[in-house]
A and B are shown apart, each in its own frame.
Chain A
Amino acid sequence: MPGAAVLALEDVSKSFGAVAALRGARLELRAGEAHALVGENGAGKSTLVKILAGVHAPDAGRVLLDGQPVHLDGPAAARAAGIAVIYQEPTLFPDLSVAENIFMGRQPLGGGRRIDRKELHARCAALFERLGVRLDPERPARGLSIADQQMVEIAKALSFDARVLVMDEPTAALSGVEVERLFTVARALRDGGAAVLFISHRFEEVFDLCDRITVMRDGQWVATDDAADLTVDQVVRLMVGRDVSSLFPKQDVEPGEVVLSVRGLTRRGVFSDVSFDVRAGEIVALAGLVGAGRSEVVRAVFGVDAYDEGSVEVAGRPLRPGRPAAAMAAGVALVPEDRRQQGLVMELSVERNATLTRRWQLARGGLLSSRAERATAAEWSTKLQVKAGKLADPVSTLSGGNQQKVVLAKWLSTNPRVLIVDEPTRGIDVGTKAEVHRLLSQLAADGLAVVMVSSELPEVLGMADRVLVMHEGRLVDDIPRARADEGSVMLAATGQGRTTAVAP
Chain B
Amino acid sequence: MSERASSPVGTAEPASGASPTATPTPTASPTERPGRGAALVHRLVVVRELGILAALLLLVVATVVANPRFLSGQNIRDLLISASILTVLAAGQTVVIITRNVDLSVGSTLGLSAYATGTLLVNGTPVPLAVLAGVAVGALCGLLNGVIVAVAKVPSLVVTLGTLYAIRGLDSLWASQSGRLQINAADLPSGFKAIAGARVLGVPVLFLVAVAVVVLVGHHLRSYRSGRELYGIGSDPDAARLSGIPVGRRVLAAFVVSGALAGLAGVMYAARFQTLDATAGTGQELFVVAAAVVGGVAIFGGSGSVYGAALGALLLTTIGAALPQLGLNPFWREAAVGALILAAIVLDRSLSLRLARRLRGRNLRGS
Contacts and interface: CB of A to CB of B under 8 A. Distances in A.
Interface of A: 53, 55, 74-76, 78-79, 87, 91-98, 100, 104-105, 107, 109, 113-115, 118, 121-122, 125, 128-129, 132, 134-140, 142-145, 148, 175, 177-178, 181, 184, 269-270, 289, 291, 472-473, 494-495
Interface of A is mostly: loop
Contacts of B28: 269
Given A104-B232, A129-B12, A143-B356, A93 B27 contact: no
Contact of A75 (B229, B243, B359): B243
Contact of A115 (B7, B18, B20, B223): B223
Contact of B242 (A75, A114, A494): A75
A107 B12 contact: no
A53 B303 contact: no
B236 A91 contact: yes
B224 A115 contact: yes
A105 B302 contact: no
Nearest to B18: A132
Given A136-B32, A472-B27, A95 B234 contact: yes
A100 B228 contact: yes
A241 to B, nearest CB: 33
Nearest to A145: B363
9 contacts: A92-B236, A104-B229, A122-B9, A132-B18, A132-B19, A138-B7, A142-B359, A175-B367, A184-B18
Nearest to B9: A125
A291 B38 CA distance: 22
B240 to A, nearest CB: 7
Given A96-B232, A142-B356, A494 B239 contact: no
A79 B32 CA distance: 30
Contacts of A79: 244
A140 B361 CA distance: 14
B276 to A, nearest CB: 39
B236 A132 contact: no
B9 A473 contact: no
Nearest to A184: B18
Interface of B: 7-9, 12-15, 18-23, 25, 27-28, 30-38, 40-41, 223-225, 228-229, 231-232, 234-236, 238-246, 298, 302-303, 355-356, 359-365, 367
B38 A93 contact: no
A139 B15 contact: no
B243 A138 contact: no
B281 to A, nearest CB: 31
B161 to A, nearest CB: 23
Nearest to B363: A145
A93 B235 contact: yes
Contact of A494 (B18, B21, B303): B21
Nearest to B36: A136
B244 A136 contact: no
A139 B29 CA distance: 15
Given A128-B12, A136-B35, A136-B37, A91 B239 contact: yes
A437 to B, nearest CB: 29
A473 B41 contact: no
Nearest to B37: A139
A114 to B, nearest CB: 4
Given A75-B243, A115-B225, A129-B12, A136 B236 contact: no
Contact of B359 (A140, A181, A495): A140
A307 to B, nearest CB: 14
Contacts of A494: 21, 23
Contacts of A178: 367
Contacts of B27: 269, 472-473
Instruction: Return the 4 tightest CB-CB contacts between A and B, nearest first.
Output: A139-B37, A138-B38, A76-B244, A143-B359
Contacts of A138: 7, 34-38, 41
B235 A96 contact: yes
B359 A113 contact: no
Given A100-B228, A104-B228, A107-B225, A134 B244 contact: no
Contacts of A148: 363
A364 B224 CA distance: 57
Contacts of B240: 93
A177 B12 contact: no
A93 B8 contact: no
A97 B298 CA distance: 17
A93 B302 contact: yes
A135 B356 CA distance: 16
B238 to A, nearest CB: 7
Contacts of B242: 53, 55, 75, 87, 91
A114 B303 contact: no
Contacts of B41: 97, 138-140
B244 A75 contact: yes
